[in-house]
Amino acid sequence: MSEALKVPTMADYMATGEMPEILFWVGCAGSFDDRAKKVTKALVKILNFANVKFAVLGTEESCTGDPAKRAGNEFLFQMQAMTNISVMNEYKIKKIVTGCPHCFNTLKNEYPSLGGNYEVIHHTQLLQELLSSGRIKIEGGSFKGKKITFHDPCYLGRANDVYEAPREVMLNLDAELAEMKRSKANGFCCGAGGAQMFKEAEKGDREVNVERSEEALALNPDIIAVGCPFCNTMMTDGVKHFNKEQSVKVMDVAELIAQAKDL
Amino acid sequence: MIASIIFILLFAAGAALFTVNSRKVIRNIRLGKDVDLSDQPEKRWKIMTLVALGQSKMLSRPIPAILHIFVYVGFVIINIEVVEIIVDGIFGTHRFLSFLGPLYNFLIGSFEILAFLVAFGCAIFLIRRNIIKLKRFVSKDLDGWPRTDANAILITEILLMSAFFTMNACDTLLFNMGSHHYNIAFANPISQFVMPLFSGMSEGSLIFIERSAWWFHIIGIFAFLNYLPYSKHFHILLAFPNVYFSNLNPKGKFTNLESVTNEVKAMMDPSFTPPPANPDKPMRFGAKDVTDLSWKKLLDAYSCTECGRCTSVCPANITGKLLSPRKIMMSTRDRLVEVGENIDKNGSFVDDSKSLGSYISKEELWACTSCNACVEACPINIDPLSIIIEMRRYLVMEESSAPTELTGMFTNIENNGAPWQFPPSDRLNWKNE
């Protein structure tokens, strides 16, 4: 684990005069949140293993502005967007993979009319590409006999109609995939979206993440799979609420693949 | 002759009143901000055929879907019968369409079966609302007028269908009796079971009951038509244009405010000159009142039939928060109606020191997770989320009244480029940890 990760920046690439295949947009959570950083590293290991020429923006990356926009602060959002766009256009970025569905949605849908036109995919879509093109192969079933349920992130699922990529990736794991009753287009929010992550919830009977975790735990899964750092936090807290953290793990799809490859 | 004149007067009055009231609704919808939704007509026709005509989004809940199909198809097809009633009413003819011969027999037979299904559907709907008390129908969103509105619609439809059966039953009895005017036989798959109620009555009584049912039926239809613009039931007309003008973008894509873009560009690039502001319309960020919303949001509000599917899937509502997407739509309509009445009374809008915020509280707005479940659930593609976001924009950008934690988050993004308080220089530290 301690060996240094190979994480080239766009600036490094510029110095060599080469271009990466893809920009990995790490996101604020992926950069700063302790739990999400592990997912970032898992994804980097996969990218390195599959010999994907990728780069990060490093310190030149800044918040996409998603939480500001959902909270109504359009000024701040557009300031962030235009700053990021000028950085990315300077580097002539064509393709981006994000570690977070919120960054994915914002970069893909809200940047184009401000001058940022890129092909944007979510990391589960990249994993699907890598698996289907054979750049990663998974043999042996370290997840054999495990029950996994996938919690759809709102901003990947309903917001952008990506339901199959994470599921197809997990099919490679030889595990049992169980669906919650509220899944795909009817998926139930973890409670973090719309800038809720950064504030206390309004007065109510219970927390949204408790409601959702209860639904997931009712399937008796070994793993609750997620594709979003905020869902990860919310579901992890929800599992703790029911004192199930010993028996049920909350893991990002990227971590499942990294673990299956022993990375 | 006198009957014809009375009929023509009633018909003309009904049609005129409906035109006047519908125009008011259209005027109110046009109070919204302009947005161009004329793109991709093929895609729009397709989605309208599928979602509005084909009811595809209703299918997620099969029982109400089937009952709703009964009422919907019945309502549309029985209107052919209304054409006959109107012609008979104007010209004093009796069952004018009977020249169609065997086809007429088939039509009336089908109408009776459909009318029965309509009445059956409405009866089950009443039971669901008032006896089974489904959660989304006993919600406090519907307290008062909305609940009465829903029941009034269902009861009226049952009464209208009963009048249709009564009319047909008496007609057949009079035909069997050889009554002079009633010289047309027709299939009566349902009304034959109503006939025993009236058998043994005199010709005079039967004619009286048949005529009463006929007049009740048609006056009821005129009255119902004029009830629509005041009722949630207006969805039977507005659902179609509302679905046609659906949002065709990914649901996660929020609009980028152009006024903000100009300001941000001016801030970042000193050589950029923003286009001159329109002096007639002061610039406003987000929505303070209904007139700050696009006309499509206002059409959404008039099209909403308050079914509550949105609220029943809302994570905030399910966990006991105040937010209800259905109530967002109802409040938008209530305020719009109020603004419309203000204009009717004063010629143009006179400040009433109220706004959309008088109807929708901050507590509701800040409870939203922007998960789009409400938008997904709506059978006619209404988008409550975009209203919530427009109102948040107003609160944040014009009133600076976001919850404190969110103000902190804004400051962090401004200063550190992240919603948390980490220095931007540490952004790549993870790779060595």
Q: Are A239 and B358 in contact (CB under 8 A)?
A: no
- Domains belonging to chain A, first-starting first, are 10-129 (3.40.50), 138-260 (3.40.50)
Q: Is A14 exposed, middle or buried (0-12, 13-18, 19+ CB in 10 A)?
A: middle
Amino acid, res. A8: P
Cα of B315 to nearest chain A Cα, Å: 6
Chain A nearest-CA residue for B432: A4
Q: Which residues contact B201 (CB under 8 A, 6 or more apart)?
A: B173, B209
Of residues B38, B20, B17, the one with CA closest to residue B295: B38
Candidates A2, A155, A162, A189: best to mutate against B (most CBs of B within 10 A) is: A189
Alpha helix segments (H runs only) across B131-144 = 135-138
Residue numbers in A near B51 (CB within 8 A): none
So where are chain B's domains? 2-30+61-237, 258-402
Question: Would you write out chain B's pLDDT as a tens digit for each of its 433 residues?
Answer: 789 999 999 999 999 999 999 999 999 999 999 999 999 999 999 999 999 999 999 999 999 999 999 999 998 888 888 999 999 999 999 999 999 989 999 999 999 999 999 999 999 999 999 999 999 999 999 999 999 999 999 999 999 999 999 999 999 999 999 998 899 989 999 999 999 999 899 999 999 999 999 999 999 999 999 999 999 999 999 999 999 999 999 999 999 999 899 889 988 888 888 777 776 666 789 999 999 999 999 999 999 999 999 999 999 999 999 999 999 999 999 999 999 999 999 999 999 999 999 999 999 999 999 999 999 999 999 999 999 999 999 999 999 999 999 999 999 999 999 999 999 999 999 999 8
Amino acid, res. B207: I
Which CATH number, 3.80.10, 1.10.1060, 1.10.1660, 1.25.40, labels domain B258-402? 1.10.1060
Other Cβ atoms less than 10 A from the Cβ of A198: the count is 21
Q: Check residue A3 and give its pLDDT.
A: 60
Alpha-carbon span B398 to A206, nearest angstrom: 32
Coil vs helix vs strand at B373: helix
Of residues A172, A177, A96, the one with CA closest to residue A136: A172
Q: What is the DSSP letter of A9?
A: B
Question: Would you write out chain A's pLDDT as a tens digit for each of its 263 residues?
Answer: 446 789 999 999 999 999 999 999 999 999 999 999 999 999 999 999 999 999 999 999 999 999 999 999 999 999 999 999 999 999 999 999 999 999 999 999 999 999 999 999 999 999 999 999 999 999 877 899 999 999 999 999 999 999 999 999 999 999 999 999 999 999 999 999 999 999 999 999 999 999 999 999 999 999 999 999 999 999 999 999 999 999 999 999 999 999 999 98
Residues 275 through 304 of chain B touching chain A, CB cutoff 8 Å: 285-286
User: Which residue matches tokens 């987000």?
Assistant: B286
**What does chain B come to in residues?**
433
Residue numbers in A near B433 (CB within 8 A): 37
In this structure, what token pair is assigned to residue B425? 């220089």
Residues 321 through 380 of chain B touching chain A, CB cutoff 8 Å: 321-323, 363, 366-373, 375-376
Complex-level ipTM: 0.96
Q: Check residue A1 and give its pLDDT.
A: 46
Of residues B210, B111, B228, B126, the one with CA closest to residue B168: B210
What pairs with residue A177 in β-bridges?
A148
Alpha-carbon span A33 to A26, nearest angstrom: 11
Q: Are B129 and B302 in contact (CB under 8 A)?
A: no
In this structure, what token pair is assigned to residue A259? 């673990």
Residue numbers in B near A103 (CB within 8 A): none
A159/B252 touch (CB, cutoff 8 Å), yes or no: yes
Q: Are B418 and A197 in contact (CB under 8 A)?
A: no
End-to-end Cα spacing for chain B: 95
A4/B431 touch (CB, cutoff 8 Å), yes or no: yes
A76/B250 touch (CB, cutoff 8 Å), yes or no: no
Handedness of CA A92, A95, A99, A100 (dihedral sign): positive
A105/B252 touch (CB, cutoff 8 Å), yes or no: yes
Q: How many Å is the Cα radius of gyration of chain A? A: 18
Our CA dihedral for B265, B391, B314, B43, rounded to 10 degrees, sits at -60
Angle formed at CA A79 by CA A75 and CA A83, multiple of 5 degrees: 170
Q: Is CATH 3.40.50 the classification given to domain B2-30+61-237?
A: no
